[in-house]
Amino acid sequence: MARNRVFKSTLTMWVLNGLSPLMQDSKKYNLEALFERLTFNQHRQLVLFSGSQMWAATELNKLTNKTTSFLTLSKEPAFNQAQWPEHLHQILGQEFEVAIYDGYSGIIPNKLAALSGTVKAGGILALVLPELGQLSFWCDQGITTWQNHQQSLTTSPFLIRWQRLFTQLPISIISETNDARLSLPSLKPASELKHRLGEQDKVIETLITLLTKSRQHTLLTADRGRGKSSALGLLTSKMPEQSFVVCARQYQAVKSSFMHLAKALGVEYSGNEKTLANLRFCPPDKLLQENISDDIILIDEAAALPVPTLIKIADKFKRCVFASTLVGYEGNGRGYTLRFKRFLAKHSSTYQQLTLNAPIRYEQCDPLESSINKLFALDAQFNAPKQLEQFEFSHLTSEDLLHDEHLLRQAFSLLVLAHYQTSVNDLRQLLDQPENKLFVIKQQNHLLGICLVSIEGALNKDSIAAIAQQNRRPKGHLLPQQLYHLLQQDALLSHKAARVVRIAIAPDFQSQKLGQQLLSYTEQQLQDEVDYFGSSFGCTAQLLKFWQENDYHIVKLGFKQDKASGEYSAIVLKSNKDLSEEQHQLRVRFSQQFTYQLLTHYQMLDDKLVRQLLKPISGNPHISTEHKQQLKILLNQPAHIEQGLALIWQITTQNPQVLYNLSAISHRLLIRLVLQGNKKGVVQKELCIDSKKQLNICLSNLVAEIYAQI
């Protein structure tokens, strides 16, 4: 795009003389002046194009005809080079002077937030919407993303909130029918523009000092655009005699580190090399198999890895840097940071935390970043009360959240802390899903906990028939449909369900039974409205125990591990009215299948989780006289102990109660060797059992402990 080179010196003279041109108000608008100011300040800005879609396409095409540095996200071919990529990685990693988002094609918050990250300093993000006055009764195409089958919305609380915020943000508005409002930012003399790499240089120097120690674990956190990945590459360039391994879920995530290393060394980088100078890439699963002692391990986007994997890495390697984004586009690292920081603080005496605050690609106090953070509550911080006092339970509607910005930001920040994969899409779901219900714990003006519930089921006969014939999978209604596919009974679709989507308690007040009380309150409020309750979640022993203590029963464990958490998805169920028989059938079905699946699909499942999954309802073991006699024979003939493993398997699968009164090593041996059928060599290595003789002694002790229970 053409730039008036004289303009920058003119702006400087204005500033030196204490002058600053005022906001422009005219239907005729001059974006060139805005671009010049943004370039001078090294800032970016959000510009609304308010009017019809075709008018906006015409206006923006005039702009994009003058530059090749633009990206347009739209389903409407009238826009120049319009595209609508499905995945965010197709957007990220690029830079443009002009980025255009067509709201008429559907407002997907994750997509819009990601697009904002591609705007370079001096550029704009153009957002196409109807006139602002129409947002209170307009729904975009994207609204259907947050609606279940048989639902419809005529207004969007999410967009009504935007309508209010647009009047408060540092944005420009160009209207088809009203006067344009260009927000021309105040000018900063060049001498006031800080050197944006200063903070990064200090962090790198600190890392070099820390990593000279024999054992050092460091947590490096930053928001997007702060130079976290580039800092890792520059770190390796400043320690040329030291070998580094950079680890991430995907190689794509660490390209920036390799690129900055290559630039610092003055060498070529094609974008495909997985080894460059003293840096090499290794995925997490392979890293844990390697026997290296002197390399420094760099974990990029650590929040995207399962916390158990991070703990294994921290245990195995002496010097690690765990880098992660606090506020991202597909997820959020605040909850991960809190949990993993607690582990490091407890288990690593040399643990340190560093933070990159200053942006690298643009100047601080960037108007676009500020606007996006406000629109999507990305800057919402959860502030808990100092101590637990008198609190109350209540039900919040989307209207409550819409009219109380402080309350909305608290609720969203609690969701962020509860789950790494909470994204800005969840903010829209919070406001625009009509069948969502939100129950909370409040202490004065503070939220202590939230329980987000989706009302599902009660499908009509046509929908049930279509599901039965596999002709259709209606949008939403996740719990009823999954249960139906397990049991093939229409009642699971025709009855109404309450699916707990998320339950979160303020970190400082966890382990005080608040979650249990909030869940109980939620059930009381909905008991006359629904027939059964349930939830689907990444299954850990601790989470499953919580649900079991509240009389929920597991009826399904998925076969695929979540990419972010490494956990299998579980479904738990609690019948409220007429589905007790169906629930019993689902429980029996799961129990029968799980003991077999332990030997096939779940051989590596955590032993604590296996124990929790096998937890019986109640009672003491019921072992037949024949089995008792066979156990006694094994005790008297330890040389034949391995021949009795089938007997131990049979007794345990019929009486999982025996698991709960075993020593730690017998408990792990029973699960890993007998129930999961792992090879003896693997189990011996895990349990530090040195020889076959010692293994037989451990097995004899296991038999003795089982026999003692009967």
For residue 24, what pLDDT is reported?
Answer: 42
**The pLDDT of residue 326 is above 90:** no
**The pLDDT of residue 131 is above 90:** yes
For residue 10, what pLDDT is reported?
Answer: 40
Tokens matching residue 327: 């506020």
**The pLDDT of residue 387 is above 50:** yes
According to the annotation, is 200 in a ligand binding site? Answer: yes
Tokens matching residue 695: 């293994």
191 or 151, greater pLDDT:
151
Write the class of the CATH domain 5-192: alpha beta
Between CA 272 and CA 274 the distance in angstroms is 6
pTM of the model: 0.85
Between CA 405 and CA 162 the distance in angstroms is 11
Of 373-382, 589-598, 620-629, which gets the smallest average pLDDT? 620-629
State pLDDT tens for residues 627-644: 889 988 888 887 778 888
Which amino acid would we find at residue 197? Answer: L
**The pLDDT of residue 418 is above 80:** no
**The pLDDT of residue 472 is above 80:** no
For residue 19, what pLDDT is reported?
Answer: 36
Residue 117: other Cβ atoms inside 10 A? 22
**The pLDDT of residue 263 is above 60:** yes
For residue 93, what pLDDT is reported?
Answer: 67
Domain boundaries, the chain: 5-192, 198-356, 392-604, 625-708
Computed from CA positions of residues 225, 429, 339, 396, in that sequence, does the dihedral angle turn out positive or negative?
positive
For residue 195, what pLDDT is reported?
Answer: 64
State pLDDT tens for residues 667-693: 999 999 999 999 999 999 989 999 989
**The pLDDT of residue 434 is above 90:** no
266 or 225, greater pLDDT:
266
- The pairing of beta strand 70-73 with beta strand 96-102: parallel
For residue 619, what pLDDT is reported?
Answer: 59
Name the CATH superfamily housing domain 392-604: Gcn5-related N-acetyltransferase (GNAT) (3.40.630.30)
For residue 14, what pLDDT is reported?
Answer: 37
For residue 565, what pLDDT is reported?
Answer: 67
Between CA 25 and CA 182 the distance in angstroms is 7
For residue 617, what pLDDT is reported?
Answer: 57
For residue 516, what pLDDT is reported?
Answer: 96
According to the annotation, is 45 in a ligand binding site? Answer: no
For residue 460, what pLDDT is reported?
Answer: 81
Tokens matching residue 257: 């580190």
**The pLDDT of residue 364 is above 50:** yes
Q: In CATH terms, are 5-192 and 198-356 the same topology?
A: yes
**The pLDDT of residue 307 is above 80:** no
**The pLDDT of residue 488 is above 70:** yes
Between CA 529 and CA 454 the distance in angstroms is 12
Confidence of residue 28 (pLDDT cuts 50, 70, 90): low
**The pLDDT of residue 150 is above 80:** no
**The pLDDT of residue 2 is above 70:** no
Closest Cα to residue 261, out of 253, 250, 269? Answer: 269
DSSP 546-592: HHHHTT-EEEEEEEEE-TTT-PEEEEEEEE-SS-HHHHHHHHHHHHH
Confidence of residue 13 (pLDDT cuts 50, 70, 90): very low
Write the class of the CATH domain 198-356: alpha beta
Tokens matching residue 423: 């994204």
Confidence of residue 336 (pLDDT cuts 50, 70, 90): low
Helix/strand/coil percentages in the chain, nearest 5: 45, 20, 35
Average pLDDT of span 94-100: 92
Say which residue the tokens 């009017």 belong to: 51
Computed over every residue of the chain, the mean pLDDT equals 87
Is the CB of residue 356 less than 8 Å from the CB of residue 114?
no
For residue 642, what pLDDT is reported?
Answer: 83
Average pLDDT of span 511-518: 93
Which amino acid would we find at residue 586? Answer: L
Average pLDDT of span 327-353: 69
Q: What percentage of the chain exceeds 90 in pLDDT?
A: 53
User: CB within 8 A of 253, min separation 6: which ones?
Assistant: 229, 300, 301, 304
456 or 8, greater pLDDT:
456
For residue 254, what pLDDT is reported?
Answer: 86
Q: Of the segments 98-102, 151-155, 419-423, 434-438, which one has the largest average pLDDT value? A: 98-102
